[in-house]
Amino acid sequence: MKKILSLLQLAALLAILLLLYGPLAKIGLLPPLPSLFHSGPPQIEDTPVIVQQVKNIAQMFTQTFYDEIVYDTGVMRTPLFQANKRLIFIAKGEVIAGFDLSELSEKSVIRRERSIVVKLPPARVLDVVINPSGFETFIEEGEITFEETKKFHEDARRIFERNARQKGILRNSAAQGRAMFEKFFRLLGFETVDIIIPASR
Amino acid sequence: MNSVPRRRSRRLLVLAVAIAVLLAVNVAVPRKKAPPYVGVRVLKDLAELATVEYNVTKIVSHQDVAWYGDRKILFETAATVKAGIDMNEIHERDILLQGEAAVTVTLPRPRILLFNMKPEHMKEIFNESGILRSDFNNQEKDALLSQGEKDIRAKVAAMDILERAARQARVLTESWLKKSGFETVHVVFRGEGGQK
């Protein structure tokens, strides 16, 4: 009986120590308990990078839109006896707009002595970039699968593109394209440069 | 006679009360997290000509081995890398006109312009944790994929992407200038006989 009581006392003291550690770790005065069992940041294994395809392209990037958003999935209700889920993450990345110059043909350039007319394709969004290093998980509650996270990340990319269009990325891209080509052809000695760019959709 | 066990029991009761109080404190104290900072949205002018695109894949794997159980995870990832030249670096001195029909253009050295790892091209192939281990959370997965990204960037940069980008930039410039009416077009890159 005496022995059991001593053991119980020891266990209780241990529990008190752990419970004292918890709040101090939560407010950042001590490192989180799980980190004491880890040797450092996880390291990936060295695997090769395989080239699947190499393509010649002719894309002129004329505008970039840097964006940063906080994405909140809200509380996702789950079946009874399962914890509700919620994910809040920060996404940082950019949207690139410009011209696909591979669409230029012989008819796109008309030269008459020191005058030139160039018909460019419409400016369009060429890439939306949010790389893994651009995602930062802020709050994660419940068990969220990789496929679910992927869908939220894809949605964040759509938000980036929408924000960029609302900010006028295509209009600015066309204006910058016009200015850049004008400058280039004037450097080539043309006195009259006319750049025609159809309106973007 | 029974005073010692009674005292021990009382001490246990005090300890139990202390545990209950601390449990309540643990639940009540919120986890400290800095509020997310959202930066300014900025539109910026560019003048970059991407001439080559590499599509690459990589397996990102991690094994967390510990005496109390293992955790293993495996992803299939893909990235698109575009390289080319920055047209903003072309100045007046880089274009030498020789009469009406001949021109020499000095282009800047190509560089990697864009790196894109799209979420839709990533797959979690394997994910297993021992009974005593917690599952990989999002933060850990982000960290592992970020390492994969860093590795792809380094390995692609060591490939022949910049040489190919230069070749294609030369082909494109020659073709466009010939379309613009120049009969003789000579394209060089900075540092190879062109302007420094």
Parse chain B into domains and list their residue ranges: 47-189
pLDDT computed for residue A130 by the predictor: 97
Q: Which of A35, A61, A72 to mutate to probe the B interface, most B CBs <10 Å? A: A61
Judgement on whether residues A1 and A59 belong to the same structural domain of the protein: no
Judgement on whether residues A13 and A67 belong to the same structural domain of the protein: no
Rounded to the nearest 10°, the torsion over CA A154, A160, A163, A169 is: -130
pLDDT computed for residue A88 by the predictor: 95
Give pLDDT tens digits for A77-125.
877 677 788 999 999 999 999 999 998 888 899 988 889 999 999 999 9
Judgement on whether residues A3 and A90 belong to the same structural domain of the protein: no
Judgement on whether residues A16 and A77 belong to the same structural domain of the protein: no
Distances (CA, A) of A175 to A97, A99, A108, A128, A181: 12, 12, 18, 20, 10
Q: Which residues between 50 and 79 in chain B have a beta carbon less than 8 angstroms from any beta carbon of chain A?
A: 50-64, 66, 78
Run of H or E residues at A89:
strand A86-100
Distances (CA, A) of A101 to A120, A122, A168, B63, B181: 7, 10, 21, 45, 18
Judgement on whether residues A84 and A151 belong to the same structural domain of the protein: yes
Among A36-40, B11-15, B114-118, B159-163, the least confident range: A36-40
B32 and A43 within 8 Å at the Cβ level: the answer is no
A144 and B138 within 8 Å at the Cβ level: the answer is yes
Judgement on whether residues A1 and A74 belong to the same structural domain of the protein: no
Judgement on whether residues A93 and A29 belong to the same structural domain of the protein: no
Asked if A62 contacts A98 with a C-beta cutoff of 8 angstroms, the reply is yes
B90 and A184 within 8 Å at the Cβ level: the answer is yes
Q: Which residues between 13 and 42 in chain B have a beta carbon less than 8 angstroms from any beta carbon of chain A?
A: 15-16, 18-19, 22-23, 25-26, 29-33, 36-39, 41-42
pLDDT computed for residue B194 by the predictor: 47
Does A140 map to a domain?
A: yes
Give pLDDT tens digits for A9-38.
888 788 888 888 777 776 667 766 666 665
Question: Which residues span the domain enclosing A61?
Answer: 53-196
Task: Choose among B113, B142, B147: nearest Cβ to A137.
Answer: B142
Does A48 map to a domain?
A: no
Q: How many domains does chain A have?
A: 2
Does A84 map to a domain?
A: yes
Which is more confidently placed, B159 or B134?
Answer: B159
Judgement on whether residues A96 and A169 belong to the same structural domain of the protein: yes
Judgement on whether residues A90 and A131 belong to the same structural domain of the protein: yes
As beta bridge partners, residue B57 has A50, B78
Judgement on whether residues A115 and A183 belong to the same structural domain of the protein: yes
Q: Are strands A109-112 and A115-119 parallel, antiparallel or unpaired?
A: antiparallel
Task: Choose among A23, A60, A154: nearest Cβ to B49.
Answer: A60
Judgement on whether residues A107 and A16 belong to the same structural domain of the protein: no
Residue with tokens 């040797």: A39
Does A98 map to a domain?
A: yes
